[in-house]
A and B are shown apart, each in its own frame.
Chain A
Amino acid sequence: MTSLAFLIPLSILILAGAGVALFWAIDHGQFDDLESAGFVPLVDADPVTADDPPKVDP
């Protein structure tokens, strides 16, 4: 039973930490758009770099 005295406060601390982290993420717009984020991992190719934009005749 003595382990409880240590584990329970620890679980509460972790819970509070998770809550704070989630609030931070929500406040920074991580959950504003739940649709398009799902597409990002479907893409592997890296686009060309900004320093070397290609030239195209419009």
Chain B
Amino acid sequence: MSGCWHCGSPLPAAAPSARVAGVDHAVCCHGCRAVAEWIGDLGLADYYRLRTASATPAPDLGDASRSAAALARPELARHIVRRLVDGRSEAIVLVDGVRCAACCWLIERTLGLVPGVAEVGVNASARRARIVYDERVVSLSAVADALARVGYRALPLDRAALDDARRRETRDAQKRLAVAGFGAMQAMMYASALWFGAFDDAGVVTRDLFRWLTLLVATPVVFYSAGPFFAGAVRLLAARRLGMDVPVALAVALIYAGSVVEVVTGGPDVWFESVSMFVLFLLSGRYLEMRARHRAGELSDALARLTPVFADRVEADGSLVRIGAIELKPGDRVVVADGQAVPADGVLDGETCRIDESWLSGESAPVPKRRDDTVRAGTHVIGAPATVRVTRVGGDTAVAALVALTERAAATRPRLALEGDRAAAALVARVLLLAVLTALGWSLVDPARAFSATVAVLVVACPCAFALAAPAAVTRTLAVLARRGVLVVKPDALEPLATATCVVFDKTGTLTEPRIAIDRTRMLRESDRDEAVAIAAALAQGSRHALARAFALQRSSALPATTERESIAGRGIGGVIDGRRYRLGRADFALPWERAPAELDDAVVLADDDGAIAAFAIDESLRPGARAVVDALARDGVKLAIASGDAKAKVERAAAALGIDTWAARQSPADKLASLGEMRAAGERIVVVGDGVNDAPMLAAADVAVAVGSAADVAQAASDIVVTGSLGTLADARALAQRMLKILRQNRRWALAYNLAAVPLAALGFVPPWLAALGMSASSIAVVLNALRVGASEDVAAPTVAEAELRRAHA
């Protein structure tokens, strides 16, 4: 494996080596060397054995320590540090660079070594660290410095409120689940004693004792664990709608109340164990759903990650001060370094610069800017540092507007309620009516039997099987898909995924990634092609530009050493190799003294002082799985389309390569949204697959939104499904969703048939309540077992859930 031992980046020719635990490892730069050796010296080299993903390249230590110092500024510290009652301080920071669970381990161990740090907790999925420390012994800056030395950056997080809300939700759900689990377990134990007639000869007193015990353990399940169902039902009824919570709450309340009456009056049967199990099953499904939702993140949180959290403000005396981006005000001047993101909307204060706006517009080439041109927050400066005069901050920026557009689109999306919701609600209404009629009828004929017959109707017709039909199948599908690397955030999306008629793809980052087309590279002088590639790759080494990275991937052999490397205002890279000065970049940069021929316009040109050497054509390669998913969907008869913000020629080429006829180029986020509206008006059910921030509004408006794993946080937060593995698994997901839908319909038909057969018998008084309870349990179990058939024919080689989660954490 040829790559930096620490971060996995391509190695330069004269790679430095890091000595860790007595073994030398090649690393890409001195930053990585320092980090790796420091980790070794701390005795934490186990990190390299445990990790499942390469680390992020080591941050520039000088830059990191300026940021660390900014953390302690009172203006910033007040957002992240909380004073605890015992005099210690608690800081919650976002840790940049956390890739897998081993990172958490490394951070916790490292900070544990810092004197004055009392407690450290790192959450891998949220990338947050909670640090409790004694301010009299150690400062927050020193803690952040310790983090930087092992390769992580501590960022201020103005999101404590969101974090608290999530933590409360998680803990609440866990407690309810625990109570339901304990309660159901105990109720089942006591109930089986009753069922098997253990006390038939011990008399009514013992039997009643056990009934009171079941009542005792089932009561917290109904009143505490099932609380969310009651609250949801009240909310739905207040809004004059009948959702799934209504029949669930009614069923739980009626069975519980009926059983209490039975216990008090000494009637023949109780159903406490059934109601407890029912609540436990439903809560388990909801808990899984909540975890998937939390992992995908919230929109507002994603916005916070798009823009940098620090800014270098130019003070009145011309000096630079590192401050938090939330402190910026319009009129401030900030300096943005090469490759860094702009912290707020503003205008360029220097002469020229180049800005990579790809995530905002989908345009893959950097855009040149002149003095007073607008620069957007979150876009990246390429080449040389730029000075920006801030005009708008925070919620007024273009990024914030984009997120607002996304949120609005999400809110107006036609929610396809699972049809079962309405069916179950209608069933409940009818059963209630029937129960009332039964009670009335029997009180006229034989009042003594009225109560038991009414209870039998309610119990036998309990919509449990109905209510469980969907969650059981959906929960099973979620688990199978997660093992495959497909994370379903909003389970409602499975039904439209199965029935979708049209799939719209974004191009860049979703279907394709940039690549240097070696076969279409033209040599402009007698020279060795491999040598030209090696020189270009050596020059591109270390640059952050997407094309430069593509060169780095092309390297064929060890790279020659480069000196006097310079990166010029996003136009290209220059450097000296073996005593010759080379330039790599746009034709007008590489060949400054001659008018470059027009055919070199799109190419990257390599030249030395004697003239051009080679022209590299820029191509795009299809991402892994793109072909597979397109073919599978086309076979399925689904219409396919591409909507991209990139140039026409590139979109056309990608569409032709994949055999997709419908495509649109140069689309702004609003254009994409508009064309989506047209398709929907034509009656299509649309799946949108995207990765960029510019796709977020379109994703939010789609019937099903699918984000690829490498997608921007905003895109992931706006999506229903996140594909963390190969794109090809999306086709599998669709097949699985279709199978789920089939089983779901089977389940519903079965529940309906059972109800149609049993309810009239119960109403006529032929069904004793114990038989009704048995029938109810049996129908529920049948439904759950049937749901387990989803994905039963899975191949064993599929990755496990844990692996999928880890992969997700790296993404």
Q: B46 contacts A45, CB within 8 Å?
A: yes
> Counting CB contacts under 8 A, is B26 at the interface?
no
Interface readout for A1-29 with B: 1 if CB under 8 Å, 0 if not?
A: 10010001001100100110011001101
Q: B43 contacts A45, CB within 8 Å?
A: yes
Note all chain A residues with C-beta closer than 8 A to B149.
Answer: 58
Interface magnitude class on chain A: 20 to 34
Q: B122 contacts A36, CB within 8 Å?
A: yes
Residues in B207-232 with C-beta less than 8 Å from chain A: 209, 213, 216-217
Note all chain A residues with C-beta closer than 8 A to B34.
Answer: 56-58
Q: At the interface, is chain B mostly helix, strand, loop or mixed? A: helix
A12-B216, A26-B178, A50-B114 as given contacts; A36 in contact with B124, CB under 8 Å: yes
A39 CA / B61 CA spacing, docked (Å): 28
A57 CA / B178 CA spacing, docked (Å): 51
Q: B182 contacts A47, CB within 8 Å?
A: no
A40-B105, A48-B113, A56-B37 as given contacts; A35 in contact with B124, CB under 8 Å: yes
A1 CA / B123 CA spacing, docked (Å): 51
Q: A39 contacts B102, CB within 8 Å?
A: yes
> Counting CB contacts under 8 A, is B125 at the interface?
yes
A22 CA / B210 CA spacing, docked (Å): 26
Note all chain A residues with C-beta closer than 8 A to B114.
Answer: 50
A1 CA / B203 CA spacing, docked (Å): 11
Q: B50 contacts A54, CB within 8 Å?
A: no
Q: B213 contacts A23, CB within 8 Å?
A: no
A47 CA / B47 CA spacing, docked (Å): 11
Give the residue of A27, A33, A47 whose beta carbon is less than 8 angstroms from that of B124: A33
Q: A19 contacts B182, CB within 8 Å?
A: yes
Q: A35 contacts B805, CB within 8 Å?
A: yes
Q: A18 contacts B42, CB within 8 Å?
A: no
Note all chain B residues with C-beta closer than 8 A to A27.
Answer: 171
Q: A23 contacts B175, CB within 8 Å?
A: yes
Note all chain A residues with C-beta closer than 8 A to B104.
Answer: 33, 36, 39
Q: A8 contacts B101, CB within 8 Å?
A: no
Note all chain B residues with C-beta closer than 8 A to A26.
Answer: 171, 174-175, 178
Note all chain A residues with C-beta closer than 8 A to B209.
Answer: 8
Note all chain A residues with C-beta closer than 8 A to B115.
Answer: 50
Interface readout for A34-51 with B: 1 if CB under 8 Å, 0 if not?
A: 011011101101111110
Q: B101 contacts A47, CB within 8 Å?
A: no
Q: B805 contacts A19, CB within 8 Å?
A: no
Note all chain A residues with C-beta closer than 8 A to B42.
Answer: 47-48, 53-54
Note all chain A residues with C-beta closer than 8 A to B329.
Answer: none
Taking the closest CB of chain A, its distance from the CB of B58, in whole angstroms, is 10
Smallest Cβ-Cβ distance to A23: which chain B residue: B175
A56 CA / B101 CA spacing, docked (Å): 26
> Counting CB contacts under 8 A, is B576 at the interface?
no
Taking the closest CB of chain A, its distance from the CB of B449, in whole angstroms, is 33
Interface readout for B329-347 with A: 1 if CB under 8 Å, 0 if not?
A: 0000000000000000000
A38 CA / B124 CA spacing, docked (Å): 12
> Counting CB contacts under 8 A, is B202 at the interface?
yes
Q: A33 contacts B121, CB within 8 Å?
A: yes
A31 CA / B104 CA spacing, docked (Å): 15
Interface readout for B32-53 with A: 1 if CB under 8 Å, 0 if not?
A: 0010011001111010001000
Note all chain A residues with C-beta closer than 8 A to B101.
Answer: 35-36, 38-39
A18 CA / B170 CA spacing, docked (Å): 20
Note all chain B residues with C-beta closer than 8 A to A12.
Answer: 213, 216-217
A57 CA / B61 CA spacing, docked (Å): 12
A48-B113, A53-B113 as given contacts; A32 in contact with B102, CB under 8 Å: no
Note all chain A residues with C-beta closer than 8 A to B202.
Answer: 1
> Counting CB contacts under 8 A, is B443 at the interface?
no
Residues in B114-157 with C-beta less than 8 Å from chain A: 114-115, 121-125, 149
Smallest Cβ-Cβ distance to B35: which chain A residue: A58
Note all chain A residues with C-beta closer than 8 A to B124.
Answer: 33, 35-36
Q: B123 contacts A36, CB within 8 Å?
A: yes
Note all chain A residues with C-beta closer than 8 A to B217.
Answer: 12, 15
Taking the closest CB of chain A, its distance from the CB of B403, in whole angstroms, is 27
Taking the closest CB of chain A, its distance from the CB of B435, in whole angstroms, is 34
Note all chain A residues with C-beta closer than 8 A to B178.
Answer: 19, 22-23, 26
Note all chain B residues with C-beta closer than 8 A to A22.
Answer: 175, 178
Smallest Cβ-Cβ distance to A31: which chain B residue: B174
Taking the closest CB of chain B, its distance from the CB of A50, in whole angstroms, is 5
Taking the closest CB of chain B, its distance from the CB of A24, in whole angstroms, is 11
A32 CA / B105 CA spacing, docked (Å): 15
> Counting CB contacts under 8 A, is B648 at the interface?
no
Smallest Cβ-Cβ distance to B61: which chain A residue: A58
Q: B121 contacts A47, CB within 8 Å?
A: no
Note all chain B residues with C-beta closer than 8 A to A38.
Answer: 101, 802
> Counting CB contacts under 8 A, is B501 at the interface?
no
A53 CA / B809 CA spacing, docked (Å): 31
> Counting CB contacts under 8 A, is B78 at the interface?
no
Smallest Cβ-Cβ distance to B202: which chain A residue: A1
Nearest 10 CB-CB pairs, A to B? A36-B104, A54-B41, A36-B101, A47-B43, A48-B43, A33-B123, A39-B101, A58-B34, A50-B113, A36-B124
Sample of 15 A–B contacts (CB below 8 Å):
A1-B202, A8-B209, A15-B182, A19-B178, A31-B171, A32-B121, A33-B121, A39-B102, A45-B43, A47-B42, A48-B41, A50-B114, A50-B115, A56-B38, A58-B149
Supply 18 further A-B pairs (C-beta < 8 A) apart from A35-B809, A45-B43, A46-B43.
A8-B213, A12-B216, A23-B178, A26-B175, A32-B170, A33-B104, A33-B124, A35-B101, A36-B123, A39-B102, A42-B50, A43-B46, A43-B105, A47-B113, A48-B42, A50-B113, A54-B41, A58-B149
